[in-house]
Amino acid sequence: MGNRWTKQKISIPKTFRPKERIAIATAIIERIVTRTQEGLDRNDTPFKKYSKKYAALKGVGVDDVDLVLTGEMLLDLEMVNHKNGEITIGYKSPSEELAGKVKGNRTGSYGDVPNKKKARDYLGISESDLNLIIDGGEAIADDSSGFDINALLDQLILEEFI
């Protein structure tokens, strides 16, 4: 099982220091989890419906797509790596089962041939969401008190409800 589907590189400005990159990664992961639980993919597009069989197994309607059955995919999501100008989000050492779930959702294969029409690519972030996070990070990083992840997250939560 290839790990290429279990990680997503995200480009960010090279001006961010390591502490800031970690904070930005945390904000990105928070957005991925929240958005996924709302049934939206990396581009804020609604996920494809569940099959009737899977929805029945999960005990939900076919439209109640949140990619949470065991919770493993969202709970295990983390920053894999960061370097100047780049953050990698995903799973450091996923089990074969988790890697299969991630690949199945991202490619629409679910143990079969990949099918873009069935894909639910949750791992990543839209350019507009990334820009909100980066703009918030730059504003806080410019503050003389230094970079504060809690202030960044508070700012993003406020912007989400405005």
For 86-125, the pLDDT digits (tens) are: 999 999 999 999 999 999 999 999 888 999 988 999 999 9
pTM of the predicted model, to two decimals? 0.80
Whole-angstrom Cα distance, residue 59 to residue 56? 5
And the tokens for 22?
Answer: 């970690």
CA distances from 151 to 7, 130, 156, 157 (A): 27, 16, 9, 10
> Is the distance from CB of 50 to CB of 57 less than 8 angstroms?
no
Compute the average pLDDT of residues 126-149. Answer: 69
> Is the distance from CB of 120 to CB of 105 less than 8 angstroms?
yes
Alpha carbons within 13 A on the beta-carbon side of 140 = 23
